[in-house]
Amino acid sequence: MEVIKTEIEGVVIIEPRIFKDERGYFYESFSQREFEEKVLKTTFVQDNQSKSSYGVVRGLHFQKPPHCQSKLVRCIKGAVLDVAVDIRKGSPTFGKYVAVELTEENHRQFFVPRGFAHGFAVLSEEAVFQYKCDNFYCKESEGAVAWNDPEIGIDWQIPSSDVLLSEKDRQNKNINEAEYLFDYNEELY
Q: Is 118 a catalytic residue?
A: no
Q: Supply the DSSP string of 84-132, one letter for each residue.
A: EEE-EET-TTTT-EEEEEEETTT--EEEE-TTEEEEEEE-SSEEEEEEE
Q: Is 131 a catalytic residue?
A: yes
Residue 46 · residue 136 · CB < 8 Å? yes
CB-CB neighbours of 6 under 10 Å: 17
Catalytic residue among 107, 131, 137, 189: 131
- C-alpha span between 179 and 175 (Å, rounded): 9
Residue 95 · residue 8 · CB < 8 Å? no
- C-alpha span between 186 and 124 (Å, rounded): 38
> 3-state DSSP call for residue 138?
coil
Catalytic residue among 54, 61, 67, 189: 61
- C-alpha span between 102 and 113 (Å, rounded): 17
Q: Which residues are catalytic?
A: 61, 131
